Chains A and B, each alone.
Chain A
Amino acid sequence: EAGVAQSPRYKIIEKRQSVAFWCNPISGHATLYWYQQILGQGPKLLIQFQNNGVVDDSQLPKDRFSAERLKGVDSTLKIQPAKLEDSAVYLCASSLVGVAYEQYFGPGTRLTVT
C-alpha cells in the first residue's frame, strides 16, 4: 500500500516570498491533516479536513496560511508571505474517519526561510 506522498521534500525561500506544499494521502483516507513541526517541538496541527471540508483550522495563521482539498483527495498548503519563524517541517498525515489516533504521516517538507 502506498503511503502519504508529499512534495517538495525541501524548500528554501526568502522572507516575504510565497511557497506551496502538496500532499496526497493514503487511498481511502477521508481525513487529512497538516502539521507544523518546529525543531525541538512536537507536531502542531494547523488544519484538519474531512473529505473536502475543514473541521479544524483553529491554529492556522489565516493571515498568511491557506489550505485546500478541493476534490477530497490531495491537498495543498500555501504560505504567503513567508516569515523567518515559518522555518519548520510541514507534515501531512491521513487517517480513516474516526481513527484519528492512527495517523499515517508523509515524509514532510523541510522549509527554510532566509
Chain B
Amino acid sequence: RKEVEQDPGPFNVPEGATVAFNCTYSNSASQSFFWYRQDCRKEPKLLMSVYSSGNEDGRFTAQLNRASQYISLLIRDSKLSDSATYLCVVNSVSGGYNKLIFGAGTRLAVHP
C-alpha cells in the first residue's frame, strides 16, 4: 500500500464549479499534512497546510480527519488558473528528521 494515495483524476470542471480532492495516508503517526500545487512542467509549490480544525485560504478549504486518515481539499468558484496537479503531502519523521511524502497528485482541468 502506498503511503499517500490520491485519485489521479483528471477532474474536468467548468469555471465557477466547486471541486473536492481526497487523499488517504497509511502512517497513523503522521503529524502534519499539506497540499502542494504543481503546474504542468513546473516545480511543486506549497499551497496550504492542513489542520485538524480545518483551514481556509480564500476559495480553498483543507480538512483533516485523523481517525479516518483522510485529507481533503475543496476549491470553490474554480478559475481557469486553478488548472494544475494538486499533490497531497504528509510529513514523516525518520531518524529525528522531517521528510515529506508526496502523493501522485490529482490533476484538475478547469474549462471555460
Chain A interface (Cβ within 8 Å of chain B)? 33, 40-45, 48, 50, 55-56, 58, 91, 98, 100-103, 105-108
B4 A105 Cβ-Cβ under 8 A: no
Number of interface residues of B (CB under 8 A): 24
In the complex with contacts A40-B104, A42-B104, A42-B105, A48-B43 CB distance below 8 A:
no
- Chain A proximity of B35: nearest CB distance (Å): 11
CA distance A45 to B89 in the complex (A): 12
B98 A43 Cβ-Cβ under 8 A: no
Give every chain A residue within 8 A of B98 (Cβ-Cβ).
98, 100-101
B44 A105 Cβ-Cβ under 8 A: yes
B99 interfacial by beta-carbon distance below 8 Å: yes
B46 interfacial by beta-carbon distance below 8 Å: yes
A45 B100 Cβ-Cβ under 8 A: yes
A100 B94 Cβ-Cβ under 8 A: no
- Chain B proximity of A56: nearest CB distance (Å): 6
B95 A42 Cβ-Cβ under 8 A: no
- Chain B proximity of A54: nearest CB distance (Å): 10
Chain B interface (Cβ within 8 Å of chain A)? 4, 8, 32, 34, 42-46, 49, 87, 89, 91, 94-95, 97-105
B97 A43 Cβ-Cβ under 8 A: no
Q: Which residue of B lies closest to A99 (CB)?
A: B98
Give every chain B residue within 8 A of A48 (Cβ-Cβ).
97, 99
A sample of 22 inter-chain contacts (CB < 8 A) reads A33-B99, A41-B105, A42-B4, A42-B103, A42-B104, A43-B44, A45-B99, A48-B97, A50-B97, A55-B95, A55-B97, A56-B94, A56-B97, A56-B99, A58-B94, A91-B43, A100-B99, A100-B100, A101-B46, A101-B89, A102-B46, A105-B44
CA distance A55 to B92 in the complex (A): 13
CA distance A98 to B99 in the complex (A): 10
- Chain B proximity of A3: nearest CB distance (Å): 9
B45 A42 Cβ-Cβ under 8 A: no
Q: Which of A41, A58, A103 has the most CB of B within 10 A?
A: A103
